[in-house]
Amino acid sequence: MRKSKEEINHNSVGLVIAKNQIINSSLKLDSGTTLKDYNLCYETYGILNKSRDNAILICHALTGDQHAAGYNDATDRKPGWWDNMIGPGKPVDTNKFFVVCPNNLGGCGGSTGPLSQNPSTGTAYGPDFPIITVRDWVESQNQLLEILEIESWAVVMGGSLGGMQAMQWAIDYPDKVKHSLIIAAAPKLSTQNIAFNEIARQAIRSDPNYYNGLYKTKNTFPEHGLKLARMVGHLTYLSDDILHTKFGRELKKGKIEFGFDVEFEIESYLKYQGESFIGQRFDANSYLLMTKTLDYFDPAEKYDGKLSDALKKCQANFLVISFSSDWRFSPTRSMEIVRALLENDKNVIYSEIESELGHDSFLLPIPQYHRILSTYLNKIAVT
């Protein structure tokens, strides 16, 4: 259904057109591979001021993309993935800030990734696209920063994997990040989280239609495997409390049928989540890459495992936010970051938000969460 002008413009950045930036330089990746002439697809909201010092970089999470706010078309059913956060009068106020959100390399939102043409073969990269790290993303985004002729980010922020990028930015380019907002993140994945990612990858790779990542050449797609991967991933984003509150042990038909079809409401919900993800046609090879990026993230690795040493040269002010019911990246993991910053006498504010909604809380308009971000960012805008 086409939206009215009033629906689009009300407290929204409105209709947005994604931009493509071909970066005509080589990017040496952590894996040792070099990408040449790669593309970054990104969206912007708000206006860059004359001093060019009001720019915010939004870093997306695992299956996110550049479409963080507004609508790409008047017929879109939903706005961008962080629309409740970004827009006029919202915590990331586009009346005050110029907001940039790129699609990460290796994704499938328009930036160079497995679906892109490999210049050496003339066909899609597919499974041959190199493994990407968070440091690689920061390097590519820094080249975009220079093309936009912005000296430094007023803020780099994101949730989950996006929060890890915000931390890496503050480490790699301390003079280019004034404020780092790390939300629902961790300094590295736990063993349990790596295990969940491997289960998701195995679900995709064992799908008969995966064809070792060459499914495009077979004109097919590993739908079943990707659906299972999404179901596993989505389950880790929710808390046990919210699952019990929403579904409990409710049966779809009110009685046990002694079979293996969907009977419980939670089974139906997870099946819906998997099928709707398939409907978005997220690329399976990109999903494999993104989970590996998560697994490899460990900025302290180069410093004999000492996170405080990794953060020593940071110049940014930090806001670290966690959510009480987030068991994937628990408040304890956020406190590891806070302690490492305090050991270096860095300026850091920490807040644990009460929420029963689990890891996905960072995407939702929780009043206390939004108030904290609004207060923090408004002070930056006034300064």
Using a 10 angstrom Cβ sphere, with 0-12 exposed, 13-18 middle and 19 or more buried, the burial of residue 11 is: exposed
Residues with catalytic annotation?
Answer: 160, 326, 359
284-286-291-295 Cα dihedral, nearest 10 degrees: 140
Calpha distance 64→294 (Å, rounded): 14
Residues ≥6 apart with Cβ < 8 Å to 126: 114, 213, 214, 216, 217, 285
Calpha distance 30→289 (Å, rounded): 14
| Segment (H or E) for 318 | strand 317-323
- What Rg, from alpha-carbon coordinates, does the chain have? 21
3-state secondary structure of 34: strand
**20: number of Cβ within 10 Å:** 12
Using the structure block, give the residue that is written with the tokens 């994997």.
Answer: 161
| Segment (H or E) for 37 | strand 34-45
Residues ≥6 apart with Cβ < 8 Å to 116: 39, 124, 125, 129
Q: Is the distance from CB of 33 to CB of 27 less than 8 angstroms?
A: no
64-68-72-73 Cα dihedral, nearest 10 degrees: 100
Calpha distance 179→47 (Å, rounded): 19
| Segment (H or E) for 98 | strand 98-102
Opening angle at CA 278, ends 260 and 210, nearest 5: 85
